Structure 1
Amino acid sequence: MNNKGLLVVISGPSGVGKGTVLRSYLAQNKKVKVSISATTRNPRPGEEDGVHYYFMTEERFCQLAENDGMLEHAQYSGNYYGTPREMVERELCAGNDVILEIEVQGAMQVKQKCPDALMIFILPPSMAELTKRLIDRRTEDEETINRRMAAAKNELAQASSYDYAVINDNVDDAVEKIGAILRAAKCSTNYMKDFINEVQQL
């Protein structure tokens, strides 16, 4: 039997509700871990190393990246961010599913390095609803919202590169669909290939 966990990549435009959906899914599924990103920026007040991020020096981060120690990485506002490979592989081998909530650029890096990763894109019911959600957050000005909507259109253009798309019209429905996708993935012949070979040799 294959006891290894699934590597799951979840992406979607800002405001689509990824965080809300994931929190609800995690509350119902205890053997699922969310990958902790590494960064070279300084911790903010209240942030803990290994809880919110793995805080690293730029030298350490670049060394890991150069030696394939990052599943994906990118630079934003002068700081590096990425997903350390070691933590992900440790949890997968322990039988835990690992979710990476990352943007499209990083997701495509993971897909290239880990072809077996399960790729899920969270869709808004409509662009109008996405705009409404961003406005209702009341955390950004009009210029920022317009910039996020432009980015959303670019991200949606890459949704077909993912294995599945889930519409977040209702959080409970979206959570149920993600669970169904993971259950189905664990019945795929690709996931079960080691067990199939084992049965053949009995």
Structure 2
Amino acid sequence: MSGHLYIVTAPSGAGKTTLVRLLLQNDPAIGLSVSHTTRAPRTGEENGQAYHFTDVADFLARVDRGEFLEWAEVHGNYYGTSRTWIEQQLAAGRDVLLEIDWQGAQQVRKVFGDAIGVFILPPSMEELARRLAGRGTDSEDVIARRLAAARDEMRHVGEFDYVIINNDLQTALSDLLAVVRATRLKLPVQQERHASLFASLL
């Protein structure tokens, strides 16, 4: 049985990274796809866990070899997702989660048309600005650019299957877990996973 591919997308500051981390803690059956990036590591980030950190020359060489399922340039840095690793995981029946932007989501859907898309929204632009400023890692100019980019990103919410408004973290986490559970309870999935039971009952 093939695994499910989940795509989680959100503008910077909406809480995507925190929600994904909590989801993985609550559901260890989901594997997180670790992207390649050319951006510099932030404090506490380890290579191979947060990202596979690399340089521009190596990244573009991987692009030329067709190693990425999707890749994009975001805020001056390159990000890419390993196609081979995802295909191997799904073929083995494991669920995989991609934490990527809307551009990457579009590229992924061209290959995996049945991927489940989840878009996370902030409760307001004011709250989004407060969260970005609260990080204490970006200048006012960077925050302004991120807010402008967020408006553009949120216009693509209609391309996703589910929308979660992250006003309260625990509620948003429950919503995200509900999406995963509901996907696993669909009739075709249950029929395949419990074939002998269906054969004995029907």
Q: Which one of 135, 138, 146 corresponds to residue 136 of structure 2? A: 138
Contact 1:36 1:54 in 2 (8 A): no
Counterpart-to-counterpart distance in 2, 1:78 and 1:12: 18
Q: Which residue of 2 aligns with 1:53?
A: 52
* RMSD of equivalent CA atoms: 3.0
1:12-31 CA-partner distances (Å, limit 9, x unpaired): 01011111111111111111
Q: Which runs of 5+ in 2 are unaligned?
A: none
Distance 1:89 1:106 in 2: 16
Q: Deviations over 1:34-84 (max 9, x none)?
A: 10113467889974357731748246402332xxx4221123577643111
TM-score normalised per structure 1: 0.82
Relative to structure 1, the CA distance from residue 190 to residue 12 in structure 2 (aligned partners, 3 Å threshold; closer, same or farther) is: farther
Aligned AA for 2:62?
F
Pairing partner for 1:75 from 73, 76, 87: 73
Contact 1:43 1:55 in 2 (8 A): no
Q: 1:196 to 1:64 in 2, by over 3 A?
A: farther
Shift of 1:134: 1.0
Residue ranges of structure 1 left out of the alignment (5+ in a row): none
Aligned to 1:170: 168
SS in structure 1 of the partner of residue 13 of structure 2:
coil
81-90 or 42-51, which deviates more: 42-51
SS in 2 for 1:48: coil
**CA contact under 8 A between 2:41 and 2:53: conserved in structure 1?**
no
- Three-state SS of the structure 1 residue aligned to 2:177 is helix
Letter of the 1:102 partner, please give it. Answer: I
Change over 3 Å in CA distance of 1:15–1:85 after alignment to 2: same
Q: Which residue of 2 aligns with 1:115?
A: 113
Distance in structure 1 (CA, Å) of the matches to 2:87 and 2:109: 15
> Deviations 1:120-175 (Å, cap 9, x if unpaired)?
00010111111111111122222111111111111111001100000111111111
Task: Tell me which residue corresponds to 2:6.
Answer: 8
Tell whether the 8 Å contact from 1:49 to 1:55 is kept in structure 2 after alignment.
no
Question: 152, 157, 160: which one pairs with 1:159?
Answer: 157
Give distance in 1, aligned partners of 2:109 and 2:23. Answer: 22
1:185 matched residue in structure 2 = 183
Secondary structure of 1:81's partner? strand
Q: Give identity over the alignment, percent.
A: 38
CA-CA distance at 1:95 after TM superposition: 2.7
Q: Is the 8 A contact 2:9 2:102 kept in 1?
A: yes
* Counterpart-to-counterpart distance in 2, 1:96 and 1:10: 17
Matched, 1:35 2:33: yes
TM-score by length of 2: 0.82
- Letter aligned with residue 95 of structure 2: D
Q: Report if aligned partners of 2:3, 2:95 keep a CA contact under 8 Å in 1.
A: yes
Q: Return closer, same or farther for 1:59/1:160 CA change in 2, 3 Å cut-off.
A: closer
Q: CA shift at 1:110, angstroms?
A: 0.7
Alignment partners' CA distance in 2, 1:176 and 1:99: 16
Aligned partners of 2:37 and 2:51 also within 8 Å: no
Name the residue aligned to 2:148.
Answer: 150
